[in-house]
Each structure stands twice: as structure tokens, then as C-alpha cells.
């Protein structure tokens, strides 16, 4: 079983430090009142109390502004114990300044050890979050790669291209450019945690061009994004993933087109709304794509990153814009 150093260290410290102090200093009024074992037990109890008081109520960090309240709190606690001690043990000479000095030295040692423990814990947390972020990035890369080599998507795109070329469609060349641009941008950005909204829209426009040409007259897309928000960020490929879900879970025909509305909102989100037209043989949605986006928001400490609102007729997904 792995030992918890945070739980064991204060006990070792509280037991060992008073023993050393009492062993090296055996002639004062404190020793005249108690046996050596009693003095040790009392001093250990005080050290434990100080440890837990400082751990929970003293904020120690690299900021000088936070050290000043910490020092004031330590002095008040030490002075309070020094004032209570004579009343408890009936000392004749008031405050025991030597005991107060020992408590101050013990407090400094306690704060130093706690600072080291908290710093180590914070570093471990940051390393864990970095590893989690890397893991999520790997998932995005794998998802992007799977899209790249997805035989269904690629086969349909190539079939569309073949039909366009056969009928001498004037958009054939643009279709090829958009398809290559779509995959090129995915590969370009697959290591980024977030992307500027402008880059997200570039990827999305390439994707939408492909889907519109594969589903002529069956898709209507309206995009209304405030240009002032283009430098804000979204999780990489987050917007494309949400729009992809619209195509994945809905049917579309020229008589009943899939309508997708993408707009920025006043509360700092990009909102994607589509009419609901379930496919007859559509599988139960797994929510993997949206859950992955939520997790990535959490790892960069952004709350309410994904908001879902749906009615019987419409499904709305909101992605929070990130200011970097």
C-alpha cells in the first residue's frame, strides 16, 4: 500500500521536533511542572494543531501580498497559545518567551514543509492536466485521421466528384480544391488544442462545400458570425464536429432540406441550430463527439463550454468562445 506522505509527515514532525527540543533543554519552568513524557505529549499536540491550522487557513504562495496575512495569522496564533499557556499550567512568570520562540521556529518549519508539499501537489496536478490534454489531443488527431481515411466519407466524395466530372459540372475543380483543402487543414491543425474562430470557419467552409455538392438542393446553410469574434478560440475542430453531427443524424432531400443556422450570440457563444429530420435507420446517438469537446473545455478550465437546447423541431448546440 502506498503511504500518504501528506498524512504521515505532520505526525512524524509533531512527535520528533518536541522530543529534540525537550532533550536539549531540560531546565526551565515548563519542565518543573510536567514529566518529560507529559511535556512531549503536550508539545506534539500543539504542533499538530498548528499544522492543521496553517494547512487550512494560511495561504502561502509566491505572492508577497499573500505572505503578509499568513505571517499575521501565525503571530496571532503563537501569541494566543503563549497567553493561554501560563493560565493552563499555572506559570508564575507570565508569558514563556522561550516557548513562544520555539513555537515561532516550529511554525516556520511547518510553513516551509507545507509550502513544499503544496508546490509538489500543484506541480503534480499541472503534469496530470498536461497529460490529460495530450491524451485528448491524441483522440482528436485519431478522429481527424479516421475522418481522413473514412471509406464511407471518402467514397461518397469521390463518387460525387466522378459524377460532377462526367456531367462537366463547372464546380468540379472547386470541389477537388475544397476536398484537398479540408484534409490539409485537418492535418495542419491536428496538434493544436484550440483554434481561432477564423481557422475553424475555414475548415468548416471546405467541409460544407463538399457536403452541399454531395447533397445538391438538400442542404441550406446560413452563417452569421461577428467578425470582431474571429480571434476568439474554440477547441480544435469543435465547430466542424457539431455541424458534422447535423448531417450524421438527419435525413435531407430537395423537398425537405436540412437547414443549418450558424451564428454568434451576445453571451459569447457560437450557436449551431438545425431542423430535426431523423434518419429512418439512424442509430442511437452516442454523444462521443460532444462529450469529447466538453472534456477539452474542462481541461482548459472553461465552464459551460457546451450547451444543448432542443425542441421537437430543432436541435441547438452552443460552443463557448475562448479569449486567449
Maximum mean pLDDT: which of 103-112, 253-262, 280-289: 253-262
Architecture of domain 194-320: 2-Layer Sandwich (3.30)
Q: What is the rounded CA–CA span in Å between residue 263 and residue 213? A: 22
Torsion angles phi and psi, residue 223, rounded to 5: -120, 125
Confidence at residue 256, expressed as pLDDT on a 0 to 100 scale: 93
Asked if residue 260 lies in contact with residue 243, where contact means CB atoms within 8 angstroms, the answer is yes
- What are the residues whose beta carbons fall under 8 Å from the beta carbon of 154, sequence distance 6 or more? 148
User: What residue segments make up the domains of the chain, in order of their start?
Assistant: 5-127, 194-320
Over residues 110-146, the pLDDT tens digits come to 778 888 888 888 888 888 888 877 777 766 665 654 4
Question: Residue 44 in contact with residue 14, Cβ under 8 Å?
Answer: yes
> What is the reported pLDDT for 128?
84
Mean pLDDT of the chain: 77
Cell 511554525 belongs to 107
What's the pTM?
Answer: 0.55
Supply φ then ψ for residue 166, to 5 degrees.
-60, -40
CA distances from 231 to 81, 192, 235, 292, 318 (A): 57, 15, 13, 23, 18
> Higher confidence at residue 312 or residue 67?
312
Q: Of how many residues is the chain composed?
A: 324
Of the ranges 131-140, 167-176, 189-198, 213-222, which one carries the lowest mean pLDDT score?
131-140
Asked if pLDDT for residue 11 goes beyond 50, the answer is: yes
pLDDT confidence of 30, banded at 50, 70, 90?
Answer: very low
Of residues 9 and 273, more confidently modeled: 273
Query: Does 25 or 48 have the greater pLDDT score?
Result: 48
Give residue 308's pLDDT band: very low, low, confident or very high (50, 70, 90).
very high
Mean local confidence (pLDDT), 294-323? 91
pLDDT at 296: 83
Number of Cβ within a 10 Å radius of residue 211: 22
HEC string for 250-281: ECCCCCCCEEEEEEECCCCEEEEEEECCECCC
Mean pLDDT of 39-43: 70
pLDDT at 2: 45
| Tens-place pLDDT, residues 193-216 | 889 999 999 989 988 988 888 888
SS3 309: strand
Residue 92: pLDDT band (50, 70, 90) is very low
Q: How far apart are the C-alpha atoms of 148 and 183, rounded to whole Å? A: 6
Residue 109 has pLDDT above 50, yes or no: yes
Amino acid at each position: 500500500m502506498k503511504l500518504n506522505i501528506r498524512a504521515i509527515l505532520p505526525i512524524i514532525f509533531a512527535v520528533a521536533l518536541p522530543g529534540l527540543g525537550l532533550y536539549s533543554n531540560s531546565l526551565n519552568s515548563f519542565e518543573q511542572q510536567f514529566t518529560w513524557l507529559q511535556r512531549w505529549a503536550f508539545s506534539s499536540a500543539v504542533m499538530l494543531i498548528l499544522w492543521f491550522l496553517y494547512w487550512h487557513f494560511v495561504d502561502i504562495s509566491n505572492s508577497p501580498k499573500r505572505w503578509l496575512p499568513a505571517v499575521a495569522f501565525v503571530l496571532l496564533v503563537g501569541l494566543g497559545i503563549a497567553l493561554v499557556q501560563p493560565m493552563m499550567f499555572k506559570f508564575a512568570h507570565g508569558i514563556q518567551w522561550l516557548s513562544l520562540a520555539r513555537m515561532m521556529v516550529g511554525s516556520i518549519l511547518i510553513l516551509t514543509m507545507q509550502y513544499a508539499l503544496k508546490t509538489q501537489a500543484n506541480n503534480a496536478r499541472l503534469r496530470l492536466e498536461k497529460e490529460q490534454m495530450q491524451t485528448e489531443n491524441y483522440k482528436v488527431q485519431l478522429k481527424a485521421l479516421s475522418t481522413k481515411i473514412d471509406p464511407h466519407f471518402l467514397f461518397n466524395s469521390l463518387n460525387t466528384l466522378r459524377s460532377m466530372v462526367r456531367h462537366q459540372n463547372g464546380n468540379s475543380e472547386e470541389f477537388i480544391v475544397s476536398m484537398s483543402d479540408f484534409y490539409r487543414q485537418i492535418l495542419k491543425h491536428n496538434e493544436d488544442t484550440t483554434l481561432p474562430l477564423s481557422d475553424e470557419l475555414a475548415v468548416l467552409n471546405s467541409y460544407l462545400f463538399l457536403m452541399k455538392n454531395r447533397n445538391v438542393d438538400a442542404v441550406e446553410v446560413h452563417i452569421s458570425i461577428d467578425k470582431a469574434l474571429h480571434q476568439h478560440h474554440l477547441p480544435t475542430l469543435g465547430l466542424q464536429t457539431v455541424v458534422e453531427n447535423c448531417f450524421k443524424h438527419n435525413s435531407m432531400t430537395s423537398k425537405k432540406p436540412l437547414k443549418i443556422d450558424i451564428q454568434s450570440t451576445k453571451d459569447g457563444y457560437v450557436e449551431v441550430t438545425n431542423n430535426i429530420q431523423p434518419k429512418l435507420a439512424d442509430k442511437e446517438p452516442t454523444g462521443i463527439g460532444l462529450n469529447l469537446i466538453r472534456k477539452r473545455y474542462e481541461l482548459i478550465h472553461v465552464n459551460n463550454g457546451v450547451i444543448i437546447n432542443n425542441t421537437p423541431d430543432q436541435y441547438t448546440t452552443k460552443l463557448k468562445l475562448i479569449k486567449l
